[in-house]
């Protein structure tokens, strides 16, 4: 043993509570700006080095594998899915800000 103490029941209970709350904390809605697919690829994506974005990103910033991914995730009964969780890359995202400003006019 390395001399560390076991985690207390209170600590574990608090940690589980925090994780449960984090699961229900919603990201702001996606505005389909394509920012995420222009900077990295998801588990299902592939990088297009010529376009410098995911090769499945369409001209109107949609995922061309949307139906395929949703069908797969449904078949696996995944609790957390790629689409529908909101925008988790919303800070300092100029494409998102531009779309939101246009929609406010």
Count Cβ atoms below 10 Å from residue 55 Cβ, excluding itself.
15
CA distance 95 to 61: 11
Query: How do the domains of the chain map onto residue ranges?
Result: 28-82+89-104
Tell me the percentage of the chain whose pLDDT exceeds 70: 90
pLDDT value at 34 more than 90: yes
Q: Which residues, 6+ apart, have CB-to-CB distance to 89 below 8 Å?
A: 35, 36, 39, 96
Name the average pLDDT for the chain.
Answer: 87
């Amino acid at each position: 043993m390395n001399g560390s103490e076991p985690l207390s029941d209170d600590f574990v209970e608090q940690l589980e509570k925090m994780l449960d709350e984090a699961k229900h904390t919603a990201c702001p809605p996606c505005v389909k700006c394509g920012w995420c697919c222009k900077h990295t690829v998801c588990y299902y994506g592939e990088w297009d080095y010529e376009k410098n974005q995911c090769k499945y990103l369409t001209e109107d910033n949609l995922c061309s594998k949307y139906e395929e991914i949703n069908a797969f995730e449904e078949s696996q009964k995944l609790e957390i899915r790629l689409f529908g969780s909101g925008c988790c890359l919303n800070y300092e995202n100029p494409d998102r800000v531009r779309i939101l400003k246009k929609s406010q006019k």
